[in-house]
Amino acid sequence: EWADRGAAKIIKEVVDPTTGELTKHVVKMGIKDFKFGEQLGDGSYSSVVLATARDSGKKYAVKVLSKEYLIRQKKVKYVTVEKLALQKLNGTKGIIRLFFTFQDEASLYFLLEYAPHSDFLALIKKYGSLNEQCARYYASQIIDAVDSLHTIGIIHRDIKPENILLDKDMKVKLTDFGTAKILPEEPSNDADGKPYFDLNARSKSFVGTAEYVSPELLNDSYTDSRCDIWAFGCILFQMVAGKPPFKASNEYLTFQKVMKVQYAFTAGFPQIIKDLVKKLLVKEPNDRLTIEQIKAHIFFQSVNFDNGSVWDDDPPEIQ
């Protein structure tokens, strides 16, 4: 099934030293072209390792997936989805890039863009919580990235701080599309001008992480793109409070809290962010703010979301 479809091919240009003639060679990249380094992360069915290209010295994050494990655990679909989603999103601001894929007998390899500043969970842990200006900087990028992927017809379904990487410029990069939902090709607006967002793109599978899972998934076992908005609300809360809104000693108790939307703001939580969080952590998906409404919220008044300009803002000093 995986054969060599979409395997990493690069075009090498070689100039003949005597004739000066330029020839182009299609060269297949493989494991031998990289020097493997430290482990960057560990997923449930994959690990991510730093790799350096032997020719260019360029650094990549390589996601390594064991074929035997994928088959045994019936996770092959996840890998297919992840690859397809990343290919559809290639070049989208705020999404990690997939450069090449290749394989050997034992493993599949995803050559991903390397994000050297770790992830958002590490950032929140390091600083405890973020001030209003920092929260605005990161939240505006996260919501813009989510907007882009929804527009392209992809629901992430597992947005959480660990899946929000930080690149060399401290810009947000969403990763881990293994549990994403790729919607069938669609017009972005239907005849009534109803946003694509409102279509009932439902999926019955349980995906996500307890702390960020939406109540509709727990109650009615369906998700559509609004589950990503719920997760965004949880993360916005966490940026300021230093901990997720729904957290208990075990998953079951966490689910209870999510279903009741039972959470409390920490002391000193800025009023303006409180107002936004309250409009995101709403049980009924129809009553949750849309991305358009989020971007228009007073908290983001100073942010210019037009033509990707959020990605030009310089990162603020933390604290």
**DSSP E strands, the chain:** 9-15, 22-28, 34-42, 47-53, 59-66, 98-103, 107-113, 154-155, 164-166, 172-174, 181-182
- The answer to whether residue 41 forms part of the interface with ligand ADE (CB under 6 A) is yes
CA distances from 230 to 205, 238, 242 (A): 17, 12, 17
Binding-residue pattern over the window 202 to 241 for ligand ADE, x denoting contact by CB under 6 A: ----------------------------------------
Of 59 and 247, which has the nearer Cβ to ligand ADE? Answer: 59
Per the document, the length of the chain is 319
Closest residue by Cα to residue 285 from 262, 261, 301:
261
Q: Could you tell me the end-to-end alpha-carbon distance of the chain, in angstroms, rounded to an integer?
A: 50
> Do residues 45 and 73 lie in contact, with contact meaning Cβ atoms separated by under 8 Å?
yes
Q: Minimum distance from CB of 317 to ligand ADE (Å)?
A: 23
> Do residues 69 and 45 lie in contact, with contact meaning Cβ atoms separated by under 8 Å?
yes
Q: Minimum distance from CB of 319 to ligand ADE (Å)?
A: 24
Binding-residue pattern over the window 53 to 82 for ligand ADE, x denoting contact by CB under 6 A: --------x---------------------
Size of residue set near ligand ADE by CB under 6 A: 11
Of 165 and 310, which has the nearer Cβ to ligand ADE? Answer: 165
CA distances from 184 to 187, 196, 202, 221, 226 (A): 10, 12, 12, 20, 17
3-state SS, residue 85:
helix
Residue 140 amino acid letter: S
The closest residue (CB) to ligand ADE is 61
The single residue of 33, 144, 147, 158 carrying the catalytic annotation is 158
The interface region with ligand ADE, picked from 28-36, 106-114, 258-266, 293-301 by CB under 6 A, is 106-114
- The answer to whether residue 112 forms part of the interface with ligand ADE (CB under 6 A) is yes
Q: Distance between CA 31 and CA 53 in Å, rounded?
A: 10
> Do residues 94 and 142 lie in contact, with contact meaning Cβ atoms separated by under 8 Å?
yes
Binding-residue pattern over the window 145 to 174 for ligand ADE, x denoting contact by CB under 6 A: --------------------x---------
Of 60 and 255, which has the nearer Cβ to ligand ADE? Answer: 60
Q: Minimum distance from CB of 114 to ligand ADE (Å)?
A: 5
Q: Minimum distance from CB of 98 to ligand ADE (Å)?
A: 10
Q: Minimum distance from CB of 119 to ligand ADE (Å)?
A: 7
CB half-sphere exposure, 203, CA atoms < 13 A: 19
- Determine whether 158 is an active site residue: yes
- The answer to whether residue 46 forms part of the interface with ligand ADE (CB under 6 A) is no
- The answer to whether residue 110 forms part of the interface with ligand ADE (CB under 6 A) is no
Binding-residue pattern over the window 81 to 100 for ligand ADE, x denoting contact by CB under 6 A: ---------------x----
Task: Say how many C-beta atoms besides its own lie within 10 A of residue 176's C-beta.
Answer: 23
Active site members: 158
- Binding positions for ligand ADE, rule: CB under 6 A: 40-41, 48, 61, 96, 112-115, 165, 175
